[in-house]
Amino acid sequence: MPKFLSALAAGVLICSQVSGVAFAQSDYPAHAITMIVPFAAGGPTDMVGRIVGERMARTLGQQIVIENVIGAGGTTAGTRAMRAASDGYTIMLGHMGTHAAAVALYPKLAYDPSTDFAPIGMVAGMPVLVLARKDFPAQNLGEFTVYAKRHAAELTMAHAGVGSVSYVTCQLFNSFLGFKPKLISYQGTGPAMYALVSGRVDYMCDQVVTVVPQLLSGNVKALLVATPRRNPALPDVPTAKEVGLPQFQASAWNALFAPKNTPQPIINKLNAALVEALDDETVRKSLLELGSDIPDLAGRSPEALAALVKGEIAKWTPILKAADQTN
């Protein structure tokens, strides 16, 4: 082919590829979006993903299908989301564990939470509570500590895998009090909570949204909420400071991420749908009744989330490296 013809053909090809990408972006979303949830159904991440995802889908005009990708404290899902196509059709509901704590706990983590993802926005903040089975022979943290030390060999704690919020926060709690329970791992705190309710484990830490219904039904008891103030959804639960453990502060966050290099117009559309969902009265009511914190407008931006991820990695890495993680 003469040189000028091949140059022309290449030019046409590039133009059609560029306009194809532009079309794909303006047309987005043309079919269902998969939202990867890194834990089992019925846990806090799953619950919040479903509440917010359903409302975002209405704005976007396409379904959002939740896919529970379990394993390795949420990092199996992180790896899967990182490797997905950057086309906006696979997004992930990550959290303080998958996108911050995992960095300290998995030396061979396949992804870098701060560079391998395009942040979409913060979904909800979730205070963490320490819970015991309802017939645990202690009414408060003081009695729990005495009993736990006396029965150290039998003490059991449920969690959702190394790096999960339930693992990280409860191991911190354990390190403050010198507990070394037998650790029992589940595919999420949905199944872990089930084990606690049925009395098969002694205690666990969990994010507020799945705690509220169980606590109000009297299925578990709460020893403390790890935030500076009591939670409006659970006004009877004392703070860590009130029970003499002021150093234990843990509020998890859940946020949406896309694989890096997802085009900005797609991120903008997803963020706008998230913002709209968080302003929806029904969504707000559900999230607030379940005790979560809804971010304000500034806190929902991709930039705010990018800064949060960096800050959280910097915050949790030394804490987790210092805390005794061996049991």
Instruction: State the DSSP code for 97.
Output: I
Residue 45 near ligand ASP by CB under 6 A? yes
Residue 125 near ligand ASP by CB under 6 A? no
Q: Which is nearer to ligand ASP, 38 or 263 (CB)?
A: 38
Q: Which is nearer to ligand ASP, 48 or 141 (CB)?
A: 48
Q: Which is nearer to ligand ASP, 93 or 266 (CB)?
A: 93
Residue 44 near ligand ASP by CB under 6 A? yes
Helices (H), the chain: 3-27, 44-60, 75-83, 102-105, 141-150, 165-177, 189-197, 208-216, 264-279, 281-289, 302-322
Location of structure tokens 């079919």? 31
Distance CA 325, CA 104 (A): 11
Residue among 56, 160, 220, 240 that touches ligand ASP (CB under 6 A): 160
Residue 97 near ligand ASP by CB under 6 A? yes
Residue 46 near ligand ASP by CB under 6 A? yes
Residue 192: closest CA among 229, 166, 222: 166
For 60, the token pair is 């976007």
Residue 312 near ligand ASP by CB under 6 A? no
Using Cβ positions, the residue closest to ligand ASP within the complex turns out to be 43
Residue 227 near ligand ASP by CB under 6 A? no
**Residues near 116 by beta carbon (within 8 Å), at least 6 away in sequence:** 82, 259, 260
Per CB under 6 A, which of residues 264..283 are in contact with ligand ASP? none
Give the contact letters, 4-33, x = binds to ligand ASP (CB under 6 A), - = no.
------------------------------
Is the bond into 302 cis (omega within 30 degrees of 0)? no
Distance CA 23, CA 38 (A): 31
Residue among 29, 36, 39, 290 that touches ligand ASP (CB under 6 A): 39
Query: Are 321 and 172 contacting, i.e. CB atoms less than 8 angstroms apart?
Result: no
Q: Which is nearer to ligand ASP, 82 or 128 (CB)?
A: 128
Interface residues with ligand ASP (CB under 6 A) are 39, 43-46, 95, 97, 160, 164-166, 188-190, 207
